[in-house]
Amino acid sequence: MLNGKTAVVTGASRGIGKAISLCLARAGADLALIYAGSKEAAEGVCKEAKKLGAKAISYQCNVADWSQSKAVCDAITQDFSTVDILVNNAGATQDNLIVRMSEEDFDAVIGVNLKGAFNFTRHLARALMKSSSGRIINITSVSGLMGNPGQANYSAAKAGVIGLTKTVAKELAARGVTCNAVAPGFIQTDMTASLPQAVKDYAHTATPLRRMGSADEVAETVAFLASSQSSYITGEVIRVDGGLCM
């Protein structure tokens, strides 16, 4: 399905990004995998992808940093003959109520979640336009759709990602590149593992399907958006949230 395509996945070392990477590899894609600090984990994902027959290379990069992102995107376009799929998945939270949130916590979360998606889209846009079927998939969140107490920074960043998605979809449509967003609800990863038990209980009761989702359930939706089966979908936000944000 994705044979001969190259996918760039940010935040590929763990959680949803790891699941996306392996799902795309199973579909036949080669992988450029971006991580921030988890070198061993990223190399482990590379190894698993290679066992599935993919070419896979990992790159260390703080996606919030414009110059580092540019250098890594340049390296990717040298190492792979095409770039066909970009998944902006890298994300981080630093939760606090608005009355206690520091400027640093606001800037850091906007930096990774929103500027990171901008940096990689900006630096790979020309390469994606050269592909016969460019695909950009941004991982946003239900927090960006409905807000969430304690997450002013994260909700603003993820809502920003939706605006970015729709604008890029409009700008690149004429070049055959689609751009969509996936909005997960509560998904079992490191990001949610540290939530207080009361919030985990809320996740179950507030979600109509009465459970948290798995990283693989998000990855399957991303793989669909990366494939030719989604060729007439652009500027869309698909929730993978068990009905949480209806």
Active site residues: 154
221 binds ligand NAP (CB under 6 A): no
Q: How far is CA 139 from the centre of its chain?
A: 4
Please name the residues in contact with 100: beta carbons below 8 A apart, sequence gap of 6 or more.
Answer: none
Closer residue to ligand NAP, CB minimum distance, 90 or 179: 90
Least gap, CB of 3 to ligand NAP (angstroms): 26
Q: What are phi and psi of 136, to 5 degrees?
A: -120, 130
Binding segment for ligand NAP (CB under 6 A), chosen from 23-31, 32-40, 126-134, 169-177, is: 32-40
> Number of residues in contact with ligand NAP, rule: CB under 6 A?
32
Q: How far is the CB of 212 from ligand NAP (least distance, A)?
A: 7
Q: Choose, by CB under 6 A, the member of 7, 8, 14, 151 that binds ligand NAP.
A: 14
Site track 117-146 with ligand NAP (rule: CB under 6 A), x = hit: ----------------------x-x-----
Instruction: Name which of 205, 187, 209 is nearest 93 in CA terms.
Output: 187
Q: Is 17 in the site for ligand NAP (CB under 6 A)?
A: yes
From residue 192, alpha-carbon distances to 21, 140, 199 in Å are 20, 15, 9
Angle, vertex CA 174, rays to CA 171 and CA 175, nearest 5: 95
186 makes contact with ligand NAP (CB under 6 A): yes
Question: Could you give the CA distance from residue 63 to residue 46 in angstroms, rounded to a whole number?
Answer: 19
Distances (CA, A) of 216 to 162, 189, 195: 22, 11, 20
Q: Is 112 in the site for ligand NAP (CB under 6 A)?
A: yes
List residues binding ligand NAP (CB under 6 A): 10-17, 34-38, 41, 61-64, 89-92, 112, 139, 141, 184, 186-187, 189-192
